[in-house]
Amino acid sequence: MTLEDGHVIATLLLILLSIVILGICAMTLFVRHWLHRRGRLEGIPEGLFPSSETVDFTLTDPAWAGRPRPRAWLAVRSRNAEAVEKALGVKRAGICNWEDGLAAAEEGASFIAPPVNDWILVFGSVLPDPGEDVDSCFRFLSDLSAGIGQIQFFQRDPVLAQHAWVKVNYGKVIRAYAWAGETLWNQGRPTPVETQAGVHCLNYGDKVAGDFYNLPDSIMANVDKVALIASRWSLDPASIEEDIFESGRGILCHPS
């Protein structure tokens, strides 16, 4: 083989390597675009695809003015309320509007709200309470997610200061934090949203100063920021516009 032949081969190899690198870059961009379109990034740990977007934690209450915020809610990535109903294993009692559904949920029923921005919110007795049984909460959310996909659970109780936010993707817990007098559940790395919101997550066994009647400001601040996390992860109920709130119809359910 002559020197000229070697030069030609080296040139061809360099061209081939360039094509391979360009192909990998193109495939990466395609996959990222596809993931965004399919909504899969909700199930991938935040930070895998960094974003320069500035997080705005301004919270408005267009539909919730004069109404108490829900104590807990579930967000399901879906537009099929019947599929959510089936996955929850509840018994349908009828169709109703948001206001009646939320009122019934406060009285022991469950309400599967109509889809908003590709998310379906669920309220009421069907939801678990980490403060009562965190293991049961883990199993409920994991099993439900394994069957229906991306779900998120939020709890905020200004009276008892209990709070929780959980993100589960197809049965895998991506991030979970729950506090009820002590840290009950702290799994996964804190997400950028939590960091930017300034929540203070305690480790297992950490003690807080004061007592039930004099909790640290950081604990009470966590309660206030649950809705902020929900607004960035999926959907804060209070962000729903008034016309959607008034016109939407969801499914009223009783436990099966």
DSSP class per residue in 49-96: S---PPP------TTTTTSPPPSEEEEEE-S-HHHHHHHHTEEEEEEE
pLDDT band at 38 (very low <50, low <70, confident <90, very high): very low
- What is the token pair recorded at 196? 């930017």
The verdict on residue 231 lying in a domain is yes
pTM surpassing 0.85?
no
90 and 33, same structural domain? no
What average pLDDT does the chain have?
A: 83
pLDDT exceeds cutoff 70 at 203: yes
91 and 30, same structural domain? no
Cα separation, 102 vs 179, whole angstroms: 24
pLDDT of residue 108: 92
The verdict on residue 214 lying in a domain is yes
113 and 19, same structural domain? no
Range of the domain at 13: 3-38
pLDDT exceeds cutoff 50 at 212: yes
103 and 31, same structural domain? no
249 and 161, same structural domain? yes
The verdict on residue 65 lying in a domain is no
% of the chain at pLDDT higher than 90: 62
CB environment 218-245: b (16+ within 10 A), e (fewer): ebeebbebbbbbbbbbbbbbbbbeeeeb
The verdict on residue 46 lying in a domain is no
The verdict on residue 80 lying in a domain is yes
227 and 181, same structural domain? yes
Pairing assessment for the beta strands 90-97 and 119-124 based on DSSP bridges? unpaired
77 and 133, same structural domain? yes
The verdict on residue 54 lying in a domain is no
pLDDT of residue 151: 98
215 and 88, same structural domain? yes
The mean per-residue pLDDT over the stretch 164-191 comes to 97
The verdict on residue 218 lying in a domain is yes
185 and 129, same structural domain? yes
pLDDT of residue 41: 40
pLDDT exceeds cutoff 80 at 187: yes
245 and 186, same structural domain? yes
The verdict on residue 44 lying in a domain is no
